[in-house]
Chain A
Amino acid sequence: MSLTLLGRLDQLHKLSRECKELRITGFQSPAEDEKETSLSFDLIVGLGKPQVWVFKVDDDSLLRFGLFPGDRIAVDRSIDCKPDCLAVVHMDGDSQYRLRLLTKDDNGERLLKAPETEVAPVNMHSGTQVEVWGQAKWVLSQLGW
């Protein structure tokens, strides 16, 4: 099963192959020339691109970043993470991906800050083995059924 969220027009095209066979038999639509593509979460999030990966927030440890358990995060691995972005990281020996705020300290060195203040920030120049895996770009939250 692919992960897809499609706009209405794309949905019609994708889900109903017969729509290609639909013909206007009376008057042509006066809106034809002005027609625009409908909104697509797929396109804006980049879902389906090879560099975009989807994560699920596993617990309430990211509440201070505004992320709730069960939220889905779209992560782009093609972006070079810059300060003030939320980076998905993997620290050596850890079995879990972590979300960190990439920022700079007073000396201009890059720091990775955890949402919880009691977790010490990691200086990326300190020799700690940290892999910056990608940048969190979008969050999808379910607000109700």
Chain B
Amino acid sequence: MGTSKVGTQPAWMVKRVIALVDCNAFYCSCERATQPALKSKPIVVLSNNDGCIIARSAEAKALGIPMGAPYFKVKDELRKLGVVVRSSNYPLYADLSNRVMTVLADMVPAIEVYSIDEAWADFSGLQGDPAVLGRQIRQRLLQWVGMPVGVGISTTKTLAKLANWAAKKWPATGGVVDLTSPERQEKLLRIAPVDEVWGIGRRLAVKLSTMNITTAWELAHYDAATLRKTFGVTVERTARELRGVSCLGFSDGPLPKQAICSSKMFGDKLKDLAPIREAMASYVTRAAEKLRSQQSLCGALQVSLQTQLHSPHLPRYANAMTVTLPFPTDDTRDLLGPALKALECIYRPGYAYSKCAILLLDLSQRGEVTPDLFAPPPRPGSDRLMKVIDTINLREGRGTVRLGLIPAAPDWAMRRDMKSQCFTTRWDELLTIRG
């Protein structure tokens, strides 16, 4: 970083400066970053099972394609408009997200990854113009990763988020808005609609409008006690953050999850128990991998099964069962046995099921659990076996070593008919080059 160095003032004297770096239409940008033919074409990305539109490029938005539209309803229109359609390609998105965060972490003292496509960057104590650093971040991410981002900079997270909104709304900003000065804050707050404030959704905005709060400025300067009494502490905190009072801390990393879920819609509706058992085994395996990756043990699990609940013409059914495990475990086999038994209990023949799920509950960190003297002993060598399986699957690809119940190419797997290749994570799907 040429222009910025860590200052020498004591921590209490350092003015807090936070930037929100947010990727523009992230999923579409990932597709575009790896496929040059998609440059400046309208793109949409579909949800699991190619259900509905979950991401739109700026060109697709300009064509009036609505977010969340079911694909089967807009399929013909998309074809007529020449819109490129892609199934979601999460391995690609995860890799590009990782690249974005790595670049960012290298340029600022600390980052907090907020989601797959946005992160907070701590600019506090850096000397020089924050906007210059913002532009450097933007330029580097575009050059190195091919990822366009907006950068909003301010003194609180809520203001930085609003600055980011402004950076994306007005192209003349060059994608970077520095909102650290009170004068600029006032200027933006007076014109920003209240529903653009972080944490204020459309419904809440309607309620606020009955109190004559329609802009961010009006929310910021409303009586805090009334806001707390009417809407709770979250809205009060938001108003304080808009006034420049920092209420949301900067966390270094996420805490271990309190529950772990694995669930996906089936590619086709399933009536028989056998393929649902296979799917359940696959989801339990994935959940157990997540469990082990955060060094946790699971004390209970919940299994659920449901039909398509929005189809009025088909018989509907949904049920769930929670099972307490005899001892906390992270062994896939010890989780799967009770999960399958629970599944058999809640399964009813005659329904066309669309989804099953596993939820791991009562999580505790390894080493923090006092073993029950009267509980059955864990399987010998369980820890080592799980480590070996995880290591092999990490190296050779997920599912290389798996339980025999799970087929290599299941019929019930999610439909992703228009998925691009995993250009950055699979040797056999790399980007190609010619003369």
Partner-B contacts on A (CB < 8 A): 1-3, 15-18, 49-51, 53-59, 61-62, 64-65, 72-73, 77-78, 88, 90, 92, 94-99, 114-116, 119, 131
Partner-A contacts on B (CB < 8 A): 35-37, 39, 98-100, 102-103, 140, 143-146, 384, 387, 391, 394-398, 424-427, 430-435
A55 touches B433 (CB 8 A): yes
B431 touches A15 (CB 8 A): no
Q: A17-B387, A50-B145, A53-B424 are in contact. Are A1 and B431 (CB under 8 A)?
A: no
Shortest beta-carbon distance from A56 to chain B in Å: 4
Chain A's closest residue to B426 (CB) is A1
Chain A residues, CB < 8 A from B102: 49-50
Once the chains are docked, how many angstroms separate the CA of A65 from the CA of B434? Answer: 11
Once the chains are docked, how many angstroms separate the CA of A64 from the CA of B434? Answer: 12
A61 touches B425 (CB 8 A): no
B36 touches A96 (CB 8 A): yes
Chain B residues, CB < 8 A from A95: 35-37
Q: A15-B395, A50-B102 are in contact. Are A88 and B433 (CB under 8 A)?
A: yes
Chain B's closest residue to A1 (CB) is B397
The secondary structure that dominates the B interface is: helix
Chain B residues, CB < 8 A from A50: 98-100, 102-103, 144-145
Chain A's closest residue to B103 (CB) is A50
Name B434's contact: one of A78, A92, A96, A131 (CB within 8 Å).
A96
Once the chains are docked, how many angstroms separate the CA of A35 from the CA of B92? Answer: 38
Chain A residues, CB < 8 A from B431: 53-56, 97
A96 touches B432 (CB 8 A): yes
Shortest beta-carbon distance from A141 to chain B in Å: 14
Chain B residues, CB < 8 A from A61: 434-435
What are 25 of the A-B contact pairs (CB < 8 Å)?
A: A1-B394, A1-B396, A1-B398, A1-B426, A2-B425, A3-B425, A15-B391, A17-B387, A18-B387, A50-B102, A54-B424, A55-B431, A55-B432, A56-B432, A58-B433, A59-B435, A65-B435, A72-B430, A77-B145, A78-B144, A95-B36, A96-B434, A98-B435, A115-B435, A131-B36
